[in-house]
Chains A and B, each alone.
Chain A
Amino acid sequence: MVEIVRPAMYTIVVDKGRYGQCAIGVPPSAALDRFASAASNWLTGNDASSPALEVIGSGLVLRFSVDTACAITGAKVKAFLDDREVEPWTTFRVSKGGTLKVVEVLEGFRYYVSFSGIMMVDKIMGSCATNLECGFGGYRGRALAAGDRIELTEIGLADIRIVPQKYIPRMHPPHTLRVVEGPEAHYFSEDSLKAMFQKHFQKSYTVSNMSNRAGIRLVGEPLIFREGMEKSIISEGVMPGTIQIPGDGQPIIILYERTVGGYTRVAIVIRADQDLLSHLKPSDSVIFEMVSMDEAERLWLGQRGKLFHVNAL
């Protein structure tokens, strides 16, 4: 059993996500940093698709009533197991009665915590991810609160593993997000597209504090619609990472909580950069860079090594 003594700003159960149900509006609700989530499970000897905790903010306190192994990945944190500092991206053993405290988040935004064993949480439509808006999946469909307990079964004796430094991404702002063209890119004036996406010309955007798990809102130079162009579309399916432009011209990056949308889709963040979306925090600055589809594919293939390493391929 793991007891949540303090849940930090927000702690939810996530996994690889819920797929195959877009036609009835069910979104993936996946871990936003999928490499980090898979890595935390690899470190604790679990399947890459196992659940993990996704946490924002310092102050997380967990108490263990079993012997297990634990790992913290994602945002770089300062954490202590009882009085001993623990290394992120590394397996550490936890004894019954131990207390884990995360005292500071040093770089990035969301971090992931896994335990060796199977978390007994709600599996809905094949996934343990929490759909917070609709209240299902994960821990009773909600964020964890002080006093909640998660039962662990089939606790294995995890080996001590370390994720090689070269696979640990940089999460410091300013962030550069590479994108490919979206279906409605031609709705916008050439000048404003250049100002948003073209290398050496692009202006930076600021992450708004109105951002949440459904979407990241950005504030900056508005995109300008070409004359006579509609400012919305007939609602259509959207993919994670899509950058939507509502009537006011300010971008919203869709994450893993929406299946259809009626705003124009100017671009899509490439898959190689999507994990970084987990680490965009309010007031961070972001620049975009348009790349070709070939480049996007090449960059994604370049990530195979690290995904393979943590068994997530």
Chain B
Amino acid sequence: MNLTRYGENGVRIKFGDAINLEIHEEVRRCYFFLKAIHLPEITDITPAFTACLIHFDTRKTSFTKLAELLSEREPDMALAALPEPAVHEIAVRYGGVHGLDMSFVCAHCGLTEDEVVTIHMAELYTVFTVGFIPGFPYLGVLDRRLNTPRLETPRVRVPKGSVGIAQRQTGIYPFQSPGGWRIIGQTETSLFDAKKEPYSLMQIGDKVRFIQEW
């Protein structure tokens, strides 16, 4: 197990170096296993594309002790049950006033708007991680024909519900927030409700399909 320390109270478990479903499946197993066994010394877990970051309470354990414990439990982790992923259909208004960067994306990729939309809708995406802000799903893997760089200078305000792309990923902004992804559409689906469990519409491993709304 590739365990390294992150600051005084973090442990990183790394499962690989690439964005793909095999590596991600290991991240998910690790996350759901640790969530299920509920160790009081673990205060939070951030699963992402290739790694799980574990936040621990230094009053209750040390890096050495926790690393030892995690290594011991590795065989159980590999057998952990995974929840059935939910499938979300997200209706999107593409282009025009809804897609601030659609013309840039078309020019960059050498595609028409219809082609961009068709390619974006064709994939059943996986939620690789949720974060930077609450409920924001990092979805992959985006078709290589739509591979577009982020904005050089991020926008101070990206409107709530914006659907963006960045390199081989696509995502949805649950709140108005700063952001550098290229915006190609808008959805009215609410992705986060702070007052109601499970708060986030999507969780790691869920599947997402975009459908066009006129």
Query: Which single residue of chain B is at the shortest CB-CB distance from A26?
Result: B134
Report the minimum CB–CB distance from A272 to chain B (whole Å).
9
Query: Which single residue of chain A is at the shortest CB-CB distance from B59?
Result: A313
* Interface locus among B44-52, B89-97, B106-114: B44-52
Q: How far does the alpha carbon of A236 sit from the alpha carbon of B192 in the complex, in Å?
A: 21
Tell me how many residues of A have a C-beta within 8 Å of chain B: 42
Task: Confirm or deny: B80 has a beta carbon within 8 angstroms of a beta carbon on chain A.
Answer: no
Extra contacts besides A22-B55, A24-B135 (14): CB < 8 Å: A20-B43, A21-B44, A21-B134, A22-B45, A23-B203, A24-B131, A26-B134, A124-B194, A124-B195, A134-B133, A134-B175, A136-B194, A235-B49, A236-B49
Q: Is A236 a contact partner of B175 (Cβ separation < 8 A)?
A: no
Task: Confirm or deny: B73 has a beta carbon within 8 angstroms of a beta carbon on chain A.
Answer: no
Residues facing B in A19-56 (CB within 8 A) are 19-27
Give the chain B neighbours of A297 by CB distance below 8 A: 8, 58
Give the chain A neighbours of B7 by CB distance below 8 A: 180, 182, 239, 241-242, 268, 270-271
Give the chain A neighbours of B50 by CB distance below 8 A: 234, 236
Q: Is A22 a contact partner of B44 (Cβ separation < 8 A)?
A: yes
Q: Is B12 a contact partner of A22 (Cβ separation < 8 A)?
A: no
* Interface locus among A103-111, A219-227, A255-263: A255-263
A-B contact pairs, 30 of them (CB 8 A): A19-B44, A20-B44, A22-B45, A22-B46, A24-B203, A25-B133, A25-B134, A25-B136, A26-B134, A26-B199, A125-B194, A134-B133, A134-B175, A134-B192, A234-B19, A234-B48, A234-B49, A234-B50, A235-B138, A236-B12, A236-B53, A237-B46, A238-B53, A239-B10, A239-B55, A259-B131, A260-B46, A268-B6, A270-B8, A271-B9
Give the chain A neighbours of B4 by CB distance below 8 A: 183
Task: Confirm or deny: A296 has a beta carbon within 8 angstroms of a beta carbon on chain B.
Answer: yes
Task: Confirm or deny: B204 has a beta carbon within 8 angstroms of a beta carbon on chain A.
Answer: yes
Q: How far does the alpha carbon of A124 sit from the alpha carbon of B129 in the complex, in Å?
A: 22
Task: Confirm or deny: B198 has a beta carbon within 8 angstroms of a beta carbon on chain A.
Answer: yes
**Residues of A near any B CB (own CB < 8 A):** 19-27, 124-125, 131, 133-137, 141, 180, 182-183, 214, 234-239, 241-242, 258-261, 268, 270-271, 293, 296-297, 300, 313
Query: Which single residue of chain B is at the shortest CB-CB distance from A234?
Result: B49
Give the chain B neighbours of A22 by CB distance below 8 A: 44-46, 53, 55, 131
Q: How far does the alpha carbon of A124 sit from the alpha carbon of B178 in the complex, in Å?
A: 23
**Residues of B near any A CB (own CB < 8 A):** 4-10, 12, 17-19, 31, 35, 43-53, 55, 58-59, 129-136, 138, 174-175, 177-178, 192, 194-195, 198-200, 203-204
Q: How far does the alpha carbon of A300 sit from the alpha carbon of B198 in the complex, in Å?
A: 35
Report the minimum CB–CB distance from B12 to chain A (whole Å).
7
Q: Is A25 a contact partner of B53 (Cβ separation < 8 A)?
A: no
Given contact pairs A236-B49, A237-B48, A237-B53, A300 touches B136 in the complex (Cβ within 8 A): no
